[in-house]
Amino acid sequence: MAERSKPWQRPRKPGGGSGALLRAQLALVLGEVLEGRSLNDALQRGQGKVAQRDRALLAELAYGTCRQYFRLDALSGMLLRQPLKDRDLDIQALLLGGLYQLLYTRIPAHAAIGETAGAARVLRKKWAVGLVNGVLRHFQREREALLSRVEKLDAPEVRYQLPEWLVDTLKNAWPEQAEAVFQGLALRPPFTLRVNLRRNSLSEYASLLQKAGLTARPIKGVPSALILDEAVAVERLPGFAEGAVSVQDAGAQLAALLLDAKPGMEVLDACAAPGGKTGHILEHTPDVHVMAVDLDSQRLERVAQNMARLKLDARLAVGDASAPRGRWAEQVYDRILADVPCTATGVIRRHPDIRLLRKPADVHNLQHRQQQILDALWSLLRPGGKMLYATCSLLPQENDEQIARFLQKRPDASVVMLKPGRGMNTNHGLQLLPDTLETDGFYYALLEKQTDG
């Protein structure tokens, strides 16, 4: 049965112009995130309901509001005489989006206030037009005083733009690096390219970028990576459609290198979607045979699309890495990439809705699934083979502690220590922290299966 939308999720046709409709959709997207839906999923639905020319702005406002959520929420609490009711979550989201426009964009204040207030009418809540208008104008009048009050709040959420439980966890995990991590997570993510080195060298592709009016710089320790000085549409990247380059964080690009696959090997890429690491394995190691598996058939379609653009061949299968079944599970592999589901705390600046969606209970639930995947995939690894365990998490519970637990119950498993061309060694693996503009946060551990005798 199709999911029924709530009354506030059904805006009427616009009567006040595209600006009001855009902001109404912004409120709906943010409202869905506040109810627990991912920003990416909510945006996909919302962008289909606004004009093509407005879609990039909708995404910018939605991502930015999530990035600054805790500060904006504190401001709205100071501006409202009493909290809004649960059924008016859309109006709360509308206020947050309006405050974001006034604080962080170049949109003229009169347009930001007028169109945001008008959006309440689009949302079928005419009573809220005056409320939104009044709150935003109040902020404009007393902007400096209100911002000063927010800065003085003794609240880790406002200071670090992260939930308090996560602030405490990161401080305990990385006492010396925590402040740098918080600063890094507050930045916009770098726009990083993965150059297909079988087509062009890094310097050759940098020259192609320069001819296209784009400038980039390499990243030490990641031979295929270039960081663009500014983000652009992929259509502007020379050779993108032909597979000469992909967009992928430099930290994620290390997976193909650390996996240590050799020509002719059978490789399993578990939890493969959307296929960035799959494509890089095939680019990096010629004549390797890759089986890409993912639980979600729709996400697996994205792997197929990526392979088609890159002109690479991988066998694809829908399957659960925690309970292998089917033909892909009836063979053994020389290399396995276990890119497991995790809290994604290392990629918060790329997915700012994680600040709102992640809860402490998620850590325990994800730990359990990670253990299931490790145990299940280990049986598919050939003796003498290697498994690369990967997360985009900053939490030791999902990383080193998870590997330590696995080693205790698997006497046939040993750790291959990784050389830190990037990041730093931990007891069992390699941790990259998002404390600079060069990489997101990733963890890698390479496990080798002992041969009999």
Q: What is the DSSP string of 150-218?
A: HHT---HHHHHSS-HHHHHHHHHH-TTTHHHHHHHHTSPPPEEEEE-TTT--HHHHHHHHHHTT--EEE
What is the torsional sign of CA 336, 277, 390, 219? positive
Helices (H) and strands (E) in the chain, counts: 18, 13
Point out the residues that are catalytic. Answer: 392
Query: Distance between CA 372 and CA 385 in Å, rounded?
Result: 19
Q: What is the DSSP string of 322-349?
A: TS--SGGGGS-EEEEEEE-----GGGTT
Residue type (1 letter), 374: L
Query: Distance between CA 67 and CA 186 in Å, rounded?
Result: 8
| Count, residues in the chain | 453
Query: Distance between CA 15 and CA 24 in Å, rounded?
Result: 12
Q: Are 300 and 318 in contact (CB under 8 A)?
A: yes
Query: Distance between CA 146 and CA 357 in Å, rounded?
Result: 27
Q: Are 352 and 67 in contact (CB under 8 A)?
A: yes
Strands 333-339 and 315-318: unpaired
In eight-state DSSP terms, residue 372 is: H
User: Could you tell me how far CA 298 lies from the centroid of its own chain?
Assistant: 18
